[in-house]
Chains A and B, each alone.
Chain A
Amino acid sequence: MDVQIDRVKASILKHKSQKKALIAILQDIQAEHNYLPPDALRAVARSLGVPLIDVIGVATFYRAFSLKPRGRHIVTVCLGTACHIRGGPKILEEFERKLAVQPGETTPDGQFTLETVACLGCCAIGPVVVVDRDYHAHTTTRKVDGILKRYRKPGRPS
């Protein structure tokens, strides 16, 4: 994926090159690429006058940021207490089987990244699966296929 340094620069200018806006800038980059490309981080460090190691420190501290390339869609399975007892681990297994990846990994075609989360705060509708920003309530292993189908690029073999 090409890193568009211009877009990074634009984001930095939007925040008036302020050091305190580092997280906001990283969020912008993350929103665009779904991960933080090394070149973008270098550009941020140079433009803000922050040591690169500090930018890396922030980027690796928060789970919201990823330094590894991620897929187009992020599948997040909740494994919090409520979702866990309602079958969260079974649903995770089903996703692992269907996508043939482990949590934290991305499918070879770059379509999906599978992740887990400890709690999303909406335990009443558990077990919860979040794909990008859509919440799928009361998920069962049977619904896994349907969820994936909705996000798979049309025309591609499943």
Chain B
Amino acid sequence: MIRLIMNGLEVQAEEGWTLLETAQFYGLEIPTLCHNEGLTPWGGCRLCVVEIGAKPKTRLVSSCTYPAEEGLVVQTDTKRVIRARRMMIELMLSTAPMSKKIQDLASKFGVTEQRYPPRNEECVYCGLCVRMCDEQMDARAIGFQNRGHKRKISTPFDIRSEDCRLCGACIYICPACSARCQGPSAETDICNACLQIEPTCLEEYGELNCWMYDAGRCGTCVQDKSK
């Protein structure tokens, strides 16, 4: 057993657990996008960042790839963490504003402004489909190609692959493929429609370490969301 401190609580992790798994075991909510339990950790979306170490020398690491270490001090919901997550959501939102999953994340984390021009791409390069195809479907029909701004996910030579069985798992798992709801703000880049429904106790009360997460859900602590 590995003992570490998470949000001020002493927690125990099994050998080989990541910080994310430890947090999930204790019911601490950490948002993820590129993570899936059946697939190898990727560390691409950086939504699961947590702050580790003692102040003032803390640093942000992706909890889905960082192993639980003896005596580690972890904070999952500090202002710095929330700011980093919001930045990632904002960037992904500008890449793929048509994605329901990313719109939902934006609503949940109160990302209400968009400082980057929308690129309207259909991919945020989370690599879920590539790992799904490789690890669960054992097909290895799709993969990353090229590099830098030309990077893309495709089949070899962009033609129907002999290894592809058209199982559709890549589409099933894709966070960008599910279209956002066509509500009243369908024309805007950020719909934020769910903001009114589900307030969260993230920014203003971040330092309080509200580890009873369902208590925050009710919104009693953040009725006044003055910015």
Mark A residues whose CB is within 8 Å of B: 38, 41, 51-57, 60-61, 67
Contact = CB atoms under 8 A, between A and B. Distances in A.
Contacts of B121: none
The majority secondary structure among interface residues of chain A is helix
Smallest CB-CB A-B distances: 5 pairs: A53-B143, A51-B140, A60-B145, A56-B156, A60-B146
Given A51-B163, A61-B146, A61-B147, A56 B157 contact: yes
B155 interface: yes
B170 interface: no
A57 B163 contact: no
A156 B45 CA distance: 56
Contact of B147 (A53, A54, A56, A60): A60
Interface in B141-196: 141-147, 155-157, 161, 163
A53 B141 contact: yes
14 contacts: A38-B157, A51-B140, A51-B143, A51-B163, A52-B140, A52-B163, A53-B142, A54-B143, A56-B156, A56-B157, A57-B143, A60-B145, A60-B146, A61-B147
Contacts of B145: 56-57, 60-61
A53 B156 contact: yes
Nearest to A56: B156
B146 A54 contact: no
Contacts of B134: 51
Nearest to A51: B140
B140 A54 contact: yes
Nearest to A42: B156
B129 to A, nearest CB: 12
A54 B156 CA distance: 9
Nearest to B140: A51
